[in-house]
Structure formats: C-alpha cells, structure tokens
Amino acid sequence: MKQIRIGLIGTGYIGRCHAIAYSQVATVFPLKAELVLDYLAEITPELAEQKAKEFGFKRSTGDWRDIVNDPNIDVIDICTPNFLHKEIALAAIANGKHVYSEKPLALTATEAKLMYQAAKKAGVKTLVGFNYIKNPTTQLAREIITNGEIGEVIHFYGTHNEDYLANENTPLDWHCIKEKAGLGALGDLAAHIVQMSQYLLGQEIISVIGDMQTVIQTRPNPNNLQERLAVENEDQATALVRFGNGCMGTIETSRIACGRKMGLSYVITGTKGSIIYTQERMAELKLYLHDENPARQGFKTILTGPLHPDYKNFCVSAGHGIGFNDQKTVEIRDLINGISENSTALYPDFEEGYKVSRILDAIALSCEQKRWVNVEEIE
Amino acid sequence: MKQIRIGLIGTGYIGRCHAIAYSQVATVFPLKAELVLDYLAEITPELAEQKAKEFGFKRSTGDWRDIVNDPNIDVIDICTPNFLHKEIALAAIANGKHVYSEKPLALTATEAKLMYQAAKKAGVKTLVGFNYIKNPTTQLAREIITNGEIGEVIHFYGTHNEDYLANENTPLDWHCIKEKAGLGALGDLAAHIVQMSQYLLGQEIISVIGDMQTVIQTRPNPNNLQERLAVENEDQATALVRFGNGCMGTIETSRIACGRKMGLSYVITGTKGSIIYTQERMAELKLYLHDENPARQGFKTILTGPLHPDYKNFCVSAGHGIGFNDQKTVEIRDLINGISENSTALYPDFEEGYKVSRILDAIALSCEQKRWVNVEEIE
Amino acid sequence: MKQIRIGLIGTGYIGRCHAIAYSQVATVFPLKAELVLDYLAEITPELAEQKAKEFGFKRSTGDWRDIVNDPNIDVIDICTPNFLHKEIALAAIANGKHVYSEKPLALTATEAKLMYQAAKKAGVKTLVGFNYIKNPTTQLAREIITNGEIGEVIHFYGTHNEDYLANENTPLDWHCIKEKAGLGALGDLAAHIVQMSQYLLGQEIISVIGDMQTVIQTRPNPNNLQERLAVENEDQATALVRFGNGCMGTIETSRIACGRKMGLSYVITGTKGSIIYTQERMAELKLYLHDENPARQGFKTILTGPLHPDYKNFCVSAGHGIGFNDQKTVEIRDLINGISENSTALYPDFEEGYKVSRILDAIALSCEQKRWVNVEEIE
Amino acid sequence: MKQIRIGLIGTGYIGRCHAIAYSQVATVFPLKAELVLDYLAEITPELAEQKAKEFGFKRSTGDWRDIVNDPNIDVIDICTPNFLHKEIALAAIANGKHVYSEKPLALTATEAKLMYQAAKKAGVKTLVGFNYIKNPTTQLAREIITNGEIGEVIHFYGTHNEDYLANENTPLDWHCIKEKAGLGALGDLAAHIVQMSQYLLGQEIISVIGDMQTVIQTRPNPNNLQERLAVENEDQATALVRFGNGCMGTIETSRIACGRKMGLSYVITGTKGSIIYTQERMAELKLYLHDENPARQGFKTILTGPLHPDYKNFCVSAGHGIGFNDQKTVEIRDLINGISENSTALYPDFEEGYKVSRILDAIALSCEQKRWVNVEEIE
C-alpha cells in the first residue's frame, strides 16, 4: 500500500485539531493509502519536538522550509496564521507537494489566485480546510437540496457569528491586524458560510452588496494593557448576494455577537420546502416539506445517523452524535483517499478557496464603495 | 364616564380580530372611558347587519360614508383592504374623527404623508394596528434594551416571513395587485418588522439597500383557474439598513417562505448581551448577558408572566400564555385610554405609519435603482 | 333564541378568567343560546358589586345562596376555593340548576361522588373546568391518537409541575391546608394531567402506585411571618399507573418544581409513532411517525392553525397563537351550546370529575400504604 | 514511561468505538503511561486479524483465552455480548489483569457480585463503560449539583429510551433472549440512567417499585422470517425510586420508544434550581436558578466549552461540540491514568457496576411481585 507522508506546519488551535483527526482517521475510515505522520514544524525546534511527540509525528524542525524541501514529504499541511499561507503554499507547490491549507486560503483574492494558479500549473492536489461541510448533517442538507426535495432554492440566509472578541477589553491579537489576518470577521468566519452556501446550492455567488463596522475600535496592547491600539479590520459585516441562478441570499458575520458560540447557521428556502440548521446543534437538521398534508405540516427535526453520509463509520446508532474533530477526520479521509487516486479531485480545493476570497474581497469593496459589486470585478 | 363610540369599517380577517378584542377589552383592562360598539359598515347592508349582530354592534350600514358622517361616532376603525385606507381616513379626519387604521397605513409613502399631515392639522388622534409590539414579550424586550441590560445595540436582524402564497397554484388575490395592495411582502409583512425595529431600538432607519424578487410570476385567475395572471409585486425582499445612531440592521420578508407560519422574528445584538425572539413562540424571550460567570453563560428562555408589561391582566400565572387577539386587546386599551385623555399620545400613530411607509418605499426604490437610498429621499 | 343566564360565584384568579372568556365567547363562536351574565356573588356585597361592574354582570350579592335560589338563573358557575365546591354544587343541583365547577371537583372522591350522583339524579348538566383539554393543540393530539396515526398507545408520561410554592418562605395559604384544599399538588395540578390522560387515550386509569413528599414542611404564618406553620399536604407526587387497556403510564406533579411555570406536559408513545407536548409551548405539537422514510424520520413541530379543532374562530392564520383564556372560551362555548340542546352531553362532566378524584385518592392511598391500589377500591 | 498493554476482546458496535477512542486518546490527553494496542480477539482468527489491522493492534487471536493468559497484557477490555462478561472477567482477574468491561457488567446482580468481589480480592483495578457520564456536559451537571448551585436535590427524573426495536418485524436478536442478555431495556439502556443518577446526585438508590411490559411478544426468527419466536424480556419499564437521602426519583426505559434515537435524559429538581438535559443535544445543559431576579428568570442553555470539565483538550472554542467517541476517549484517559498510578481509583468500577445490577434486579423483582423492594433484598 502506498504511503502518504504528512508534513504539518503549525500546531496551534487548528493544528491540534488536525493532529487529533490524523490520529483516529485510519481507525474510523478505510484508507486507500497508508498515512504517515512524518514531519512537524513549529517556530522553535524545542516546541516542534514537544509537539511532534504529543501529536505522534516522527520528526520535527524549527524551520518550516525543512519540511517543504524534504523529498520524502507528500503533503504539506498548513496550520499557521493566515499571513503565512501564501509563502508556504507556493514553496510547497514549487517542490511538487500536494497542499492542504487551512482557511482562509490567503489574505486577499490576489494572493489566493496566485496560489490556485501555481497549484494548477504544477498539477498538485490542493484542499482547503472548510471542515464544516464535512459534517454528515450538512452533507444531508446538500443531498436533500440536490435531490430536489425542497424544490428550487429561492433564498439562502447564512451566518457565521461568534463572540470571541465581544469583550472590548480583550487585548488586540493578530486577528485584528490587517497584514496578519487580512479581513476581520469576513475572513475568519464568513469564509465558512460563503463557501458552505456554494456547496449547499451548487451555485456560485456572483454579485454582492455589503455593510460592515469596526464596533470596538481600540483594544488593549497585549504587551501594555494600559495602552489601547487600533483594531484594523471589521468586527461585523452583512451582505446581500445573488447566486449564478438568480437565487437571493443574505450573509451575516460577527466576532462580537454576544452569546453566539458557534453561530454558523443557515435557513434555506425552496419552492417546495425549507431547511434550517445551526452548527450549535450539529446533529440536527430541520426539514419542512410544503406538499405534506396541510394539517400535519411542520419542521421535522432529523437527528443525523447511519443512514446519512459519513456517519456510520463513527457510530452505528442514530442521534449519538459526532464532534468537531470528527468533521476534520472526514476531511482528512478525503485528503488521503483523494491523493491516493489520480482520478479523484479534492473538494474544496484552492480554486474554491480563491473563489471564496474573491467573494469576500467583493463584499469588502462593496462596503467601501457603497454599491453592488460583481464578483468578477475582483481579479 | 365619557363614552367612546366606535365605527368599524370592514369585518374580514383583521376586522374579526378587532371585534374579538373589543368584546373582551373592558373585562381585561380598566378603561378610562366607556367603550360603545356603535356602528359597523360592510359592502352590503345585509352583510353589515349580520356582522353587527355577530360582533355586538348596535347599528350597521352598507356604506362606510354613513359612519364617517355620523356625528355620534368618535373613532373610525379601518379594517378594509389597504387601497381604501386613504380615502376613508381622510374623510374621517375631515369630520374630526379619531382614526384607528390597520397597517400598512397606505399604498405609498406619499399617501401616508397626506394622511398623517391631515390628522396632525385636524388635531385628531391616530393609531396604526402594529399589534405585535403590544405583546408583553416584545414589550419586555424593549424594556431590557431601554434599561441598557444588553449594552448598546450594534446589530438588528429582523424577519417577517410567512408562506401563505408559497403554493404557485394559489389563485391571484388582491395582495398581488399593485393598485389594491401597493407593495407585496414588504407592505403586508415587512411593515411589522420595520416598525418593530424602531420601537425596540428607539431609533429610526435612515438608509437602506434592498433586493427583491417576484418568484412566482403568474397565478391562476380566481375566476378562471385555467388562465394565469401576472403577479404585480414582490414575493420576497431583503434589505441592509442603518439606524440613526449608526446601528447596522438586516430586514428579510417573504410571503412564500415554506414552513414559516408566523415568522416575525428578531435577533438583537448589543455590546453586553443579546435577545432572540420569534412570534411563533410568542411567550418566550431568549436573553443572553455576556457579563455573567463565563462558565455559566447561555441564552435564558424567559416565559412571559405577571411581572412583565400588560400580562397580569390576562392571567396572574407566568407561562400560561396570551394569544394573538390579546395583543389587539392591549392595542385597543391604548386606543380607548389614549383618546379619553387629552394629554396622552397614541403610539404608533399615523406619523409612525408614514415613517414606515417611507422606509418601505425607500427599500423598493433601492431595489429598482440597485443603490443605497437615504430614507429622506422619499418625500 | 333561548337565554342562558349565568350566576358566577367567586371572582379570584380563575373567576376572572371565566369573566374574560364570557366577555368574548359570543364574538368568537356562534352560540345556540343567548348568554346572559346575570348574577355574581362574592364574600361581601361591596366586592360583588365592584366585580359585577368589572365583569359585566347585571346583578350582584354578598351571599352565594341568593344566586343558587334565584329562579332566573340557569347555570351556577363555581369559582370559589375548593372546599366550597360541594356545598354550592349540591345546593344548586337541589334547585335544578346546571352546574359548571372549577377543578378539582371536590376535596375527596367521596364528596365528588355525592355531587355526581346528585346531578345525575336531578338530571342537570355539569361541566368541570379542565380547560387545557380545550386547547386546539391537545384536541389535535387526541385526533391523531383516535385516528390511529401513532398506532396503539403503549406508554403515557404526563406531568403537571409548577413552582408557585418553590420558595420556602412563601407564606402558608389555603393550598397547604387539608380542610381547605384536600390534596396538595395532586389535587391542584395533577388533576389536570390525570384527566387529560384519559381524554387523550380514551381509556381510564384503573390501578396506581405512587410516592409523595412534603418537602417544605413549614411555611411562615401569613399573619405573623416570624412563626412557621405546618404544611398539611404533599408538595410533589409521582405515580405509576395502568390504563384499562393495559397501557402503562407515569404521572408526575409538583408545586415546587423550580423553573416549571406551566409544566403541564405529555409524551405519548405508540406502536407507530409518538407525540410530545408541553403547555409552555401551547401552540406546538411534536409528532413522530415511525413508518416514514428512515433517512428522513424525526419529530415534526406542528404549529396549531385553522385546520385544527376550534382554532379558526380565533384567527384564520396558522401559528398566530391562542392564549390561556381562549381555552376557557372554548369550554364556555361547549357549556352554552351543550345546555341549549337536550341531546348533547357536556364533557368533562361531574362523573369524569369524580373519576379523577377517585384516581387521585387512590394515588394518595397507595403512597400511604406503599402498595398498588385498584382505583375501584376507592368508593 | 511505563507501558500499559491492552487486550481487546470483541470488535462489534462498542468494540469499534473503543478502537476509535484508543486511536486518538494519546493525542487528545497527556497520558501518564504509554498506551500499547497489543492483542485483539474475535470469534475466528481471520476476523481477529482483519480487525487488528483495522484497529491498529499488533497481535490477534481467535480465542480470547490467549489474551487473558498472555503475561504481557495489562488490561483486558471486554466488548463482547453481555453473557460472556462474567467468564472473561473472572479469568482475567484470576490472572491478575486489570479489567475494563462494557455495561451491563453481568446478566444478574449475583454474577456481578462475584466479579466485583473477585476483583477486590485480587487487588486489580476495574472500570465499567458507562461512558455517558464522561461527557463534559454531564460532568458540568454534577459540578453544579455538588457546588449546591441548585440547592438540595429533591427530585430526579431520568430516562433512557430508544427505538431500535420499535418495529415489530425486526427479527429477534440476542437482546431479546434472557440467557444472552439478561434483562431487556432495563439491562441494555436503564443501566446507564440508573448509574448516571447515582453519579449526578452522589447518592445511591435504596428502594424501588417498578412496572414493565413486553409489548412486542414475538419477533421473526432471523433464520426463518416466516416463523415468530418469543421475546423473553421487557421492551419497556418504569420505576419509582428513593435515594439514600430520601430524594424521590423516577426512571423510565424503553427500546421501542418511537422517535427517541438517543433518549438518555434527566430533569433534576433542587430546592433552588433545576437542570434539564438530553443526550440528543449532548452539548447543551439547561440550568434554572430560582434566586435570580423574578422578572428575568428562565432556563439558560449552556453550551459546553473549554471552561467545563475535559472539553478543552478536544477544542478550545465553546459550542463546537464533542462526539460520542470522545466520551469514550475521556473514559480511556481515566483508565490509563488511573492504572498508571496506584493511588487512583477508577470510577465507575465493578462495585458500582454491581450496585447498578442490584438496582435493576430489584426493579425487575418489584415488577414481578408488584411491591416496593429494598435494593438490599437483592444479594
């Protein structure tokens, strides 16, 4: 059996989730190649060594270039802060590596385009970590829509709201600095719901008009709490959008939405039915079908189970629930199996990551210029 | 005790709700004047007589002008289709009557302005039937916001979605005809959530950008089901808005939103907390306060009860629930008591009705011209 | 049209609800007789006069016997504290009056039996105020069960929990005194869910084993808060029951169940489906059907609307909601129309009230003797 | 670092869950010993070999005795059908192995007692797989209760209802055969909620009275679907219970409860507050505190997060959710770390498993004899 050797760069919040998913994936799913946790990079050799031990990687380094240049590595897994994605990905692609990058793919659509085009030209495979679409519940939603069970989709309302920066005295971190993060809530959170809307509807967003605000304009300097520094990107944003088939949509995002801990949600209205979902109840899909007996109509709460996509490998009983890292496990199953077979494309790949970046940049531009923007206006 | 004599014009859906509320209001609330159900008009004398008997009115007529011209009538209550509001109200005002009109106040802001200015000039009192703001639960939401319990409001998301026209084979009715209804979902439904947003925040919407669609473009002719006639106004609309204090907002409305039976809802985000409400659970307010012990944070479901505004007159136990017509009963209590005392203003009055019409027209204009519109652009 | 003249005795909590329902019933429903609010009694002539005015009654008295003895009165409506039900009802029956009594019918099954037998012998009609079964939502549940939509019912779980006495420093009131109230939570609350179980299943409870506790054993003397008096009846009780057809059931009740404001609820399991309901969401019925496509199974939330029993008279739109007093309005519609026609029986009548008392007494006996009790053991 | 070598016996439903948890535990949690997946047994050498490969075990065998007798194995993990638990555990204990067994510990309390006493005598450590108590949400519930946040607990209502046998034409399997499974729903499901009640309250159940039924009395012979065989144990059961401190409780269980996919749930009432939980929403705890401002009281929905027990190792953001196997991962962390340190006791151990069996047997006896049974009556 072919081996696929992973080089993991970055071990913070999301790097740790990757590690957990790597550890269980071969037990959960049949893999078409042998997964090897080979090489791990962090900002110091010491931290790298410690994390390699913790995450079960064989080798470690304090310089990510060592991994990118290592001929034994097949896949570069990028879990660094956003501003490093481009440089690492381009170096990896130049060396013919497949690249698995966390979202958002880049700080701007321009960067993302470079990355997508480089990968295309090099013929390497790419995957972006939009893990929430791997949840069986959201896969079920897509299946229902694709089947036409709710008719033609006529409206999409989607949010990704959280409250991790709701307190005005939370110190400034890289999320708030343009050259580290690019956009604010749009880049960090809305990237998910924008991509998910395209996944669910099988349609692309083609025009947008948005509005945004930096509500908390200064935050304490983490190195000197008495001083307050400027927040450089938006805390909240909203946008009206149109999909390619004319379907209307609304996107909302915030990182200061008090009480929303995992407020990724969608309400999808079709001509014959509707779907409602929130990631805070990640095992439940609400489905309404208008053609049913009018005296017995209502939203049905479906608990995800073994009859739904990618669930039964975790547990054969319905309603028992899978967790956040299990979504990542499905994603990594797709990565390994997709790379092991030449014919299979990975999804969502850098092209999709670029398309999402373009939409986010279009929203930002529409906010700035206070007008509708065609996504194609963004290069 | 002074008498206040009502002349009711129109006895359809909402006229019937008025009648039920009239019948119970004096038992539920102490009134400052004696309510007299005096005169009722319908389109034929026969129907008027039957309805007068059913609703407990003393006299009836097949011509609404009889009521407007009757010197014994104090209040004209307009429950007719929208296109008649203006004519009746102007005639009533001309005769010095107080006017209680259903929403939307008029087919256009221009009409509404005429009505509001006429009433102001004549010195009569006016009230528009935005009954949902009289629900104790929404009154509680306003109280929480006004108290500053959730800090400064930074985002308002509001909907009024229903599905009464979701079936494409439901025959065309007056709601779909411009000269009878004016706007579509915006006028019939969004009027409520737009007005409610201003009530809750104590702020006015000053600029808007919208999008709208007539999804079901033809419907069967009710007189010849084989033939299909054009639907003349929008089935669904969305808008981004800004309130006077800079607060961002989103409004969504639809009359074809499968599964939403009473989808009037709001999510209000403040700097220190949030509120979530849907009219389908009209006795529940969800409240989140960010300053609580972080390990015990969460949305609390408050069941409306006797400690909340205008509840205990219906029932002295919490969580027992009041109904749709009870909201109308609170509204009519406000009408009677407000008219009985010279000093008290009614709310929401024709000025507020006009302001709402102006916002709806601004949204429609912004959809047509695909640009942000300042509400003041609408006359 | 025949007149039905009401004599109302008692104007506290529930008397007020009757008054509100009386005020609106003729507007909401077509009645087969003319309802006359004729005579009202309270403990003093002054209070009676004030309440008569407030509730729209023509005459008033400080002595309930005046009403019972008045030849012009057709129906005696008993809204007094429980311990007076028997005396008033027996006097009314002796005078050939129809009797409409609040629940629980009496302090003991023995008393209730006397009342039921007297009414039967006298040929007068009787109705007990188990108003929650008049809610369209619970009527819908019965319809679903009767239709066989959930197959054969195999388990009933029902509660009536509230928290009106949860605070140990709430002073003692008549609810806690045996000779005023009889049983505690069982009599005041469980009466509802026991009766409702029989209504829903169309089956009678025939054997029981219970457990009960007086958790808060003393409460402040309302006349001297420094002193604490003994609570004489149970704060909470539970029982396993069997219905006549062998169906298993569980009943739970408490007046100290923190957070349950209107915790009347049921979970009904059938061989082909299930129903879940709580009175705190009185407009929602959850329905699960096991025969549906296994990949689309789930509990459906049905919002009560005009296609369900007795809803459309309040409002013709689904999901708009009716309130607590509206249930009473349906009950009074049944009263008036039932009395106006000789052939129609009222339900639930004193016989049903007696049967409920017998079950409650059986539960109390089973707690005392720590054994299963056949309901027939209670006289 | 010390090694702990696992011998896994049985690889069906729950064995697979163990395997997934083993695969990720060292990445999720810091372990105090090195976990070695060493030896695996199944009913044939071929199946064992295949599963060893799939689950990452080094060695395999078709005879579980090989593992029990292997001197290199430290822990015997029993995931076989219930009827084999006793024999394997006793053999393992005799060889000085620590034993990790799935629930229910044995077919009867008598068997369980033998096992518990043997382990105690041998000085080996034991753990029973009541994994649901390892969920951070239920750990949080215990923390709230232990802190006294809801005062003294006065009532416990718990269920474990599922519908895996709701269809009467589902063929007979070992769950329905007494000598394979022992009790029916009580043993398979109620074992969880009974144990959980003791964990949550820190109290033992001391007396019980139950009721039970085999609703579906025959099922198709899996080898000849035309023939129907007798179901030998109960489909549903309920019991009233008393805890050692006098607290009242109710337990309900069913394997034919249509619509309940993971109906493990509890409602815990205290003198100062209440808790509500259902495993179908395993990331949510509902908490009500009675002492709060009466006008702002209500059940709060707490989403489990990094501030709650054992959550942050999976994910550092609240509300992102952990899954079924993650509970098992916490359990295995407890196993490994508990065994690595002499001083630490495992919980829940065989003694607790025995106590649970005793309660279940007491319920069964109380059903048979239709009387209250003291748990101590069961040996």
Amino acid identity of residue A78, one-letter, is I
Query: What DSSP string runs through C44-106?
Result: SHHHHHHHHHHHT-SEEES-HHHHHT-TT--EEEE-S-GGGHHHHHHHHHHTT-EEEEPSSS-
DSSP character for C309? T
* Tens of pLDDT, residues A271-284: 999 999 999 999 99
Chain C hits for D211, Cβ within 8 Å: 209, 240, 242, 248
Q: What's the mean pLDDT in C340-354? A: 92
* Tens of pLDDT, residues A42-99: 999 999 999 999 999 999 999 999 999 999 999 999 999 999 999 999 999 999 999 9
Sign of CA dihedral C82, C84, C89, C92: negative
CB C189 within 8 A of CB C181: no
**pLDDT at residue D310 is higher than 90:** yes
User: Structural domains in chain C?
Assistant: 3-130 (3.40.50.720), 136-281+283-320+355-369 (3.30.360.10)
State the Cα–Cα distance between residues C161 and D244, nearest whole angstrom: 24
Whether residues D296 and B303 touch (CB distance < 8 A) is answered with: no
State percent of chain C over pLDDT 90: 98
Whether residues C154 and D236 touch (CB distance < 8 A) is answered with: yes
* Tens of pLDDT, residues D232-279: 999 999 999 999 999 999 999 999 999 999 999 999 999 999 999 999
Q: Which helix (H) or strand (E) holds B180?
A: helix B178-181
* Tens of pLDDT, residues A313-332: 999 999 999 999 999 999 99
N-term to C-term CA, chain C: 42
List the single residue in D296, D297, D301 with the smallest CB-CB distance to B299: D301
pTM of the model as a whole: 0.98
CB A65 within 8 A of CB A372: no
State the Cα–Cα distance between residues A76 and A94, nearest whole angstrom: 12
N-term to C-term CA, chain B: 42
**pLDDT at residue C376 is higher than 80:** yes
Q: Which chains touch B (3 or more CB pairs under 8 A)?
A: A, C, D
* Tens of pLDDT, residues C81-114: 999 999 999 999 999 999 999 999 999 999 999 9
CB B97 within 8 A of CB B74: yes
**A41: pLDDT confidence band, cut at 50, 70 and 90?**
very high
Beta strands in D96-235 (DSSP E): 98-101, 126-128, 153-161, 205-213, 218-221, 224-230
pLDDT of residue D232: 98
Amino acid identity of residue D346, one-letter, is L
pLDDT of residue B379: 85
Count CB atoms within 10 A of the CB of residue B1: 8
**pLDDT at residue C345 is higher than 90:** no
**D343: pLDDT confidence band, cut at 50, 70 and 90?**
confident
Whether residues A26 and D316 touch (CB distance < 8 A) is answered with: no
pLDDT of residue A54: 96
Q: Does C296 touch chain A (CB under 8 A)?
A: yes
pLDDT of residue C318: 96
pLDDT of residue A1: 84
* Tens of pLDDT, residues B201-237: 999 999 999 999 999 999 999 999 999 999 999 999 9
* Tens of pLDDT, residues D212-224: 999 999 999 999 9
N-term to C-term CA, chain D: 42
Q: Does D303 touch chain A (CB under 8 A)?
A: yes
Residue of B nearest to A150 (CA): B258
Q: C24 to chain B, minimum CA–CA distance in Å? A: 5
List the single residue in B280, B303, B316 with the smallest CB-CB distance to C280: B303
CB C264 within 8 A of CB C276: no
**pLDDT at residue C1 is higher than 90:** no
- The token pair at A276 is 């409602």
CB D91 within 8 A of CB D66: no
Q: Which helix (H) or strand (E) holds A101?
A: strand A98-101
List the single residue in C297, C303, C308 with the smallest CB-CB distance to A302: C297
State the Cα–Cα distance between residues D212 and D185, nearest whole angstrom: 10
Q: What's the mean pLDDT in C220-227? A: 97
Residue of B nearest to D294 (CA): B307
- The backbone torsions φ and ψ at residue A225, rounded to the nearest 5 degrees and listed phi first, read -65, -15
Contacts of residue B256, defined as CB under 8 A and 6 or more positions apart, other chains included, come to A154, A269, A271, B163, B165, B166, B215, B216, B235, B236
Whether residues B259 and A163 touch (CB distance < 8 A) is answered with: no
pLDDT of residue C353: 98
**pLDDT at residue D314 is higher than 90:** yes
State the Cα–Cα distance between residues D210 and D105, nearest whole angstrom: 21
ipTM above 0.85, yes or no: yes
Q: B17 to chain A, minimum CA–CA distance in Å? A: 23
State the Cα–Cα distance between residues D23 and B17, nearest whole angstrom: 64
Q: What's the mean pLDDT in A173-200? A: 96
**pLDDT at residue B344 is higher than 90:** no
Which residue reads 């198709």 in tokens?
D220
**pLDDT at residue C136 is higher than 80:** yes
* Tens of pLDDT, residues D86-141: 999 999 999 999 999 999 999 999 999 999 999 999 999 999 999 999 999 999 99
pLDDT of residue B342: 79
CB B370 within 8 A of CB A372: yes
Q: What's the mean pLDDT in D187-210? A: 98
Whats the size of chain A, residue-wise?
379
Contacts of residue B50, defined as CB under 8 A and 6 or more positions apart, other chains included, come to none
- Cβ under 8 Å to D: A residues 242-281: 261-262, 279-281
State the Cα–Cα distance between residues D294 and B206, nearest whole angstrom: 37
Sign of CA dihedral A333, A334, A336, A342: positive
State the Cα–Cα distance between residues C165 and C173, nearest whole angstrom: 10
Whether residues C23 and B27 touch (CB distance < 8 A) is answered with: yes
**pLDDT at residue A18 is higher than 90:** yes
**pLDDT at residue A209 is higher than 90:** yes
State the Cα–Cα distance between residues D74 and D335, nearest whole angstrom: 11
State the Cα–Cα distance between residues B322 and B136, nearest whole angstrom: 9
DSSP 3-state assignment of A191? helix
Beta strands in chain D (DSSP E): 3-9, 34-41, 59-61, 75-78, 98-101, 126-128, 153-161, 205-213, 218-221, 224-230, 236-243, 248-254, 263-270, 273-278, 284-289, 299-303, 373-374
Q: Using CB atoms within 10 Å of the CB of residue B225, give its burial: 0 to 12 exposed, 13 to 18 middle, 19+ buried.
A: exposed
Whether residues A162 and D320 touch (CB distance < 8 A) is answered with: no
Compute the C-alpha angle B259/B261/B265, nearest 5°: 100
Q: What's the mean pLDDT in D293-297? A: 96
Count CB atoms within 10 A of the CB of residue B216: 21
State the Cα–Cα distance between residues A302 and A285, nearest whole angstrom: 5
Residue to substitute from B296, B302, B310, B317, interface D, most D β-carbons within 10 A: B296
Whether residues A213 and B248 touch (CB distance < 8 A) is answered with: yes
